[in-house]
Every structure is written in C-alpha cells, then in structure tokens.
Chain A
Amino acid sequence: MNTTQLDDVIPKPASVLDKARRLLNDFKVWVNLDSGNLTAGQQLAVKYFTVAMILFVAQILFGLLSALQFIYPDFLYGILDFNVNRMVHINAMIVWMLYGFIGSIYWLIEDESGTDIVGLKWANIAFWVLTGAVTLVVLVYLFIQIGPGKDSSLWFINEGREYIEAPRWADLGITAVMLVFSYNVVATFSKGKWSGIAGVLTLDLIALIGLYLAGMFYMTNITHDQYWWWWVIHLWVEATWEVLVGVIMAWSLIKLLGARRKIVQTWLYIEVALMFGSGILGLGHHYFWIGMPEYWLSVGGFFSALEPIPLVAMVVHAIYDSGVHAFKTVNHPALAWVIAHAFGNFFGAGVWGFMHTLPQINLYTHGTQWSASHGHLSFFGAYATINIAFFYLAIQHWRGNVWMAAGTRHAWRWKWALGLLNAGVVGMTVALLIAGYEQSFIERAVEGSTWAGYFAAQNQPSFQHAMNWRMIFGLVTAAGLGLLVWDLLTIGKYEERKAEKIVVH
C-alpha cells in the first residue's frame, strides 16, 4: 500500500474535527436551549452541571465494569484491571458531586447575595483549568495506571490512597481552583448582602478546603497516613459535605416551596449544631483498627452513634416544610428528588452507617461488602439526589422558567428515571448487604479472617448470587441514568406555559 492509498483510508484530522463540530451543532439544535435565559453566574453553573453529568455517566460505566469483574474475573484482566476500574468509579463520583456542589453554589449565590458574581472571569478560567486537570488525571489513570515506587509516581501518576488518588500536581491545582471559588463566594456576599445561609456556606467552604490539605502529605507510617487520610474523607462526607447540602437544601426549599427564611435558617443552625456535634468526633469510628489508642473505641462509637440524629432532623425539616405548603411546588421533579434526598440521606448515611458503627460489630464488618453497601446507599442518597434536584431546577430556568408542575409533558420520563435510579441503588445496597453479612459470618467469625477464610467466603453461593444481583441492579441504575440524561435534555422543550410565581408564606 503506498501513501496515497493510505491518505484515502485515514480520515484527515481537519475533516474529523469538522464532523465533530457538525455533530455538536446538530446536538445543540436538537437540545434547543437558550442561554439568554440565564444570568452570567447561572451560565457558569450549568457548565459545572454538564461536566457533572458526564462524570456521573463515567462513574456508572466503570462501576458496571468492576461489578462484572466480580462475576468474570478474567474480563479485561491485564488491560483494565479491577483496581483501575474501581478507582475511576469512586473518583468520578467524588468529582462529579463536587462539580454539582460548586455549580449549585454559583447558581444560588447571585440570588442569595443580590448581586453579580464578583470574579466571574477568574471563575470561568478556574472551570476550564479544573476540567482540563480532571481529564488529564483520568487519562493517566486509564493509560499509564501505575508507576515505580518513587516520589515522582506520587507527583504525576497516582497517590494510591482510596478516594484521593489524584496525583500531587492535581491536588495543588484543585486547591488553587477551590481558592478562586471561595474568594468568589466571600467577595460576592461582601459586595451584596450576607445572610445566615451565606455565613454557614462560607465557613463550611473554608473548612472543606482546609481539610483537603490534610490529605496531601506522604508518610511512611501507615497508621499516621490513615489517620490524616480519614480527616479528609470523613470530615468531608460526614461533616462538611452534609452541611453543604444542608445549605443547598435550605435555599432550595425557599425557592421550590416558598418556605419562610426564618424557619429554614433556624433549621440550618440546628442541623449544623447536630451535624458537627456528632460528626467531628464521630471521625473516631475510622480509628478503631488502624493502630490508634483504645479510647477511640469509646469516642468514635459514642459520637458516630449520634450521627443519624441530624439526618432525622433533615427529614423532618424537608417533610414538614413540604407538608405546610401542601406539597405545592413550581418544580415537581426537583421536589421529588429533594424528598428522595431526605430519605436517602437518613437511610443510607444514617441507618446503614449506624448498623455497623459500634466497635463490637465493626470488628466483624470492617473491610467487608458491608461498607460497600453503606457506601452505595449513602453517597447516592445524600449527595447524588440533591444534585439531581438542582439539575432540574437549573434546566427549568434554562428553558426560560417554564412550567414544571402538574401536567408537565412526558412526565413519565422523570418519574421512571427517579424510580429506576432509586430501585437500582437500593437493590445493589441490599445485595451488597447480604454479601457483607455472609462475609462477616464466614470469613470473620468462623474462619478467622485469613486469606483462606476470605476466599471461602467469596466462593460461597450466597456471596456469588449477591454479586449477580448487584450486577442486575447496577444495570437498572444505568437504565435510570440513561432516562435521566434524556429527560434533562428534553424536559420543558416546547413548553409555552410559564412557571407559577412562588409566594413565600
């Protein structure tokens, strides 16, 4: 084959780019969204939401691959091994949720402060820097995967610490971007007006960024390593993130239902007191078995047992406010997801966490599928749901504040997406819980936690059936996600009616 023939076979880069551009344009025409309906801050927010949804899809995709490898260990062996798929699965999750939170805050900040975002140009630059960095990190995860046992690998490839695997250069980048973000929050509220919601949000963001720094150091001592590592993971997901969604929910309830600010803010303070009062020292439940002193068994056991209380308060809050307003809302899918959040947070984080948080039980459940069961329901229930609620709020305004209450066209789509996603995650949670029970019993209590004991439990039919059911419900979740993406792209299209004006009462 000479080179001229090759030229015919291989498409020219220019023509590929052209085709991609045409496809993108066709897509934009089909979606038919008008950014003129949004303020500059909201336009920035929807960029974050878009990337969040793409990463959400990636999370589910790599989750399915990992689940399949439990059933067929040879699948993609040596190409995309379980550790790679699982790392992308959990990292995509953490990052899409952060994107959702940042977007939600950029969305609500102009309304809450009564002024434009102060450093919008910097915020836009930060968005592209962060997105570029995330893309690069994922490409390195997928194509380079591992490096030699040297500092340079920790700096440029993978830090190998669950949830915060991102290499050191990316840690620094993420911190810089987060600093731009918090500057914007503080400066915007300072220029406009402060509120209770604004105050809680600002202090919470400072804590959130400060905690991330605790995860950026290398230590030979594994006990110290895991001590600080949990500072980041626990104090994010069981403290500062919970307060952050409290803020987002408080604001959403005012917007969705017309709840009174005084009531919402009082609840928010109660939630902060209960959340930080139980969650900060509840950190101790991660220190039972990593070499830390014995007093953590009491401190961690006691305070983490209190952790469900603020989540009960949040359910009461959401349901009470909805009830007072007779569930009358301008945005049905968003309110449905807020309610799903209140229950999901309570059951996933609260009940499922409480079930194995006491050291007497945790001795047997620690490091089994029990944790995976809790992880699936809590991350979905506490954080995926509230983000999805916000996506619906955003799309309503992106369409020009159209009607999204009773009688929305194709309402079956959002209802089925809600149903399938929730059923899928609950199904996976139950399957993993059965696997976890079986592991705690066979591997831990009977066999004594040896490698032979581990595999004896993994080879049990009840464990393997649980893995099959997890796969099936994973597919249900994926179907729900597909429907959700379709619905978010199309809901409110061609809708002529404007949303009812919400009255605060």
Chain B
Amino acid sequence: MNETPLWASESFWKKTAIWVTAVSFVILIVLTMDSLSQTTAGGKRVPAYAVINKKIDYQFNKELNKSVPVIGEDEFLFGKQMTEQEAAELVDLGKKTAQTRNCMNCHTILGNGAYFAPDLTKAWLDQGWLSKDLREDLMVKFLMNPESNARTFGSNRKMPNLGITEQEARGLVAFLKWMSSIDTNGFPYNFKTIEAEE
C-alpha cells in the first residue's frame, strides 16, 4: 500500500479547493448583480423613497401564504407631498441619524442588530402608536424626548435621550415609513398592523 489513491492525495484536494472556491465565488458575483438590480430603490421589492407619500400596510396574502406590503392611496407625511428628491433627502437624513445614534446596538433593523429593544422593520405600522392620526406626532415627540414620553410596556427599559433634533426625528420617521414598505419575504410573521385595528 505504498501508492496514495487519487482521492487521498494532496494535489487532488488542492485542485478541488481552488475549483470549488472559484466556482462558488463566480456564482455569488452573478447572484449579487441580479439581487442588487432587483432591489434598487424604485423597484418592486424596495419602493422609491416617494412611497412615504402613500398609505402603507402589511397584509397577509393567502395565495402566497405570507404577509406582503400593500401600498395604498395618498397619505402625506407631515401633511406635505414630497417629490422623489425631497423624500430621498429626508429618508437619507433618517438613515444617517439611525447610524450615528447607534440605534442598531439596542434595536434590530430588518431583524439585525441587538436585542435590548424592539425590531424597527415595521415600526411605522406598529399598534403601539395608538391611532393613525396621532402617529407622526407621537413618533417625533418620542424620538426627541424619549425619557418623558417613554412607554416601557412594563419592562422599565427606557430609550435614552440621544439629542435628536426635530428635523432628524422627521427624517427617522420618513426612514421608518419607507422601510416598512420593503418586501421582506414575510418577516416579521403574523404581524398585526395599526391599520388592522381600524
């Protein structure tokens, strides 16, 4: 038994390693190009930023057996219709504010982040904002002064004051509203929105 069979030889596995890695990587690149083009803002899965001018809901679709975002009639944010450009700028401010205030190390965004505070994926649609008429106002007030407006649901966990300005708070609300319109393949599951209550 002096000869090493092919399947146990070093050179065979070296070639296999190189081929497997190269092929996997090429497939990943192809899928990446396809995925990114399918998910640019303005597409079917990730709506344009001006979607914040519309009513957004998240409803269970029996045929698909999962919840999907449903875009409805006009429902302006802060009572003003925005152009795509204005909407993009406001969402951008919100996204930057979310990053620079380190939201993700308490909350999850699209389910990713820390687990000390609730998920923000569908925060815009949460029943915790009591009614649709109060929602925008409550959200801005809460973000600017979370200590005095805290609703801890009996957990004693309060969001700290992060010095969020009114403009930044409006940006965050726009960002959250836009994010709630993204098709997330049914995550979160079984979510009852503020619309469902009415």
The residues of A with any CB-CB pair to B shorter than 8 Å are: 66, 69-70, 73-74, 77-78, 81-84, 86-87, 145-151, 153-154, 157-162, 165, 196, 200, 218, 220-227, 262, 265-266, 269-270, 272-273, 276-277, 280-281, 283, 286-297, 299, 363-364, 366-369, 371-372, 439, 444-445, 448-452, 454-456, 458-459
Contacts of B49 in A (CB 8 A): 220
Nearest B residue (CB) for A167: B100
**A143–B104 Cα gap in the complex (Å)?**
19
Contacts of B118 in A (CB 8 A): 451, 454-455
Do A86 and B110 touch across chains, with their CB atoms under 8 A apart? Answer: no
Would you call B78 an interface residue if the criterion is a C-beta within 8 Å of the partner chain's C-beta atoms? no
Which one of A153, A262, A276 has the highest number of Cβ atoms from chain B below 10 Å of its Cβ?
A: A276
Do B99 and A448 touch across chains, with their CB atoms under 8 A apart? Answer: no
Do B102 and A449 touch across chains, with their CB atoms under 8 A apart? Answer: no
- 8 tightest Cβ-Cβ pairs between the two chains A and B: A160-B99, A455-B153, A149-B97, A449-B188, A367-B111, A289-B187, A83-B105, A269-B13
**A266–B17 Cα gap in the complex (Å)?**
10
Contacts of A364 in B (CB 8 A): 189
* Known contacts A150-B100, A281-B27, A289-B111, A449 near B17 by CB under 8 Å: no
Contacts of A78 in B (CB 8 A): 160-161
Would you call B61 an interface residue if the criterion is a C-beta within 8 Å of the partner chain's C-beta atoms? no
Do A444 and B190 touch across chains, with their CB atoms under 8 A apart? Answer: yes
Nearest B residue (CB) for A70: B116
Do B184 and A290 touch across chains, with their CB atoms under 8 A apart? Answer: yes
Nearest A residue (CB) for B39: A223
Contacts of B108 in A (CB 8 A): 367
- Binary interface profile of B, 79-117, with partner A (CB < 8 Å = 1, else 0)? 000000000100111111111111111101111111110
Contacts of B144 in A (CB 8 A): none
Would you call B132 an interface residue if the criterion is a C-beta within 8 Å of the partner chain's C-beta atoms? no
Would you call B128 an interface residue if the criterion is a C-beta within 8 Å of the partner chain's C-beta atoms? yes
* Known contacts A220-B41, A273-B20, A451-B128, A159 near B160 by CB under 8 Å: no
Do A149 and B190 touch across chains, with their CB atoms under 8 A apart? Answer: no
**A150–B101 Cα gap in the complex (Å)?**
11
With both chains docked as a complex, state the minimum distance between the C-beta of A74 and any C-beta of chain B, in angstroms: 7
Contacts of A280 in B (CB 8 A): 21, 24-25, 27-28
- How large, as a class, is the contact surface on chain B? 35 or more
Do B99 and A161 touch across chains, with their CB atoms under 8 A apart? Answer: yes
Would you call B57 an interface residue if the criterion is a C-beta within 8 Å of the partner chain's C-beta atoms? no
Contacts of A87 in B (CB 8 A): 102, 105
Do B96 and A150 touch across chains, with their CB atoms under 8 A apart? Answer: yes
Contacts of B92 in A (CB 8 A): 220
**A143–B96 Cα gap in the complex (Å)?**
20
- Binary interface profile of B, 1-43, with partner A (CB < 8 Å = 1, else 0)? 0000000111001101100110011011001101110111100
Contact among A74, A224, A273 with B36 in the assembled complex (CB-CB below 8 Å): A224
Contacts of B152 in A (CB 8 A): 455
Contacts of B94 in A (CB 8 A): 149
B53-70: which have CB < 8 Å to A? none
Do B100 and A157 touch across chains, with their CB atoms under 8 A apart? Answer: yes
Which one of B10, B24, B27, B105 has the highest number of Cβ atoms from chain A below 10 Å of its Cβ?
A: B105
**A74–B27 Cα gap in the complex (Å)?**
49
Nearest B residue (CB) for A265: B10
With both chains docked as a complex, state the minimum distance between the C-beta of A9 and any C-beta of chain B, in angstroms: 35
Nearest A residue (CB) for B182: A291
Do A153 and B100 touch across chains, with their CB atoms under 8 A apart? Answer: yes
Do A296 and B35 touch across chains, with their CB atoms under 8 A apart? Answer: yes
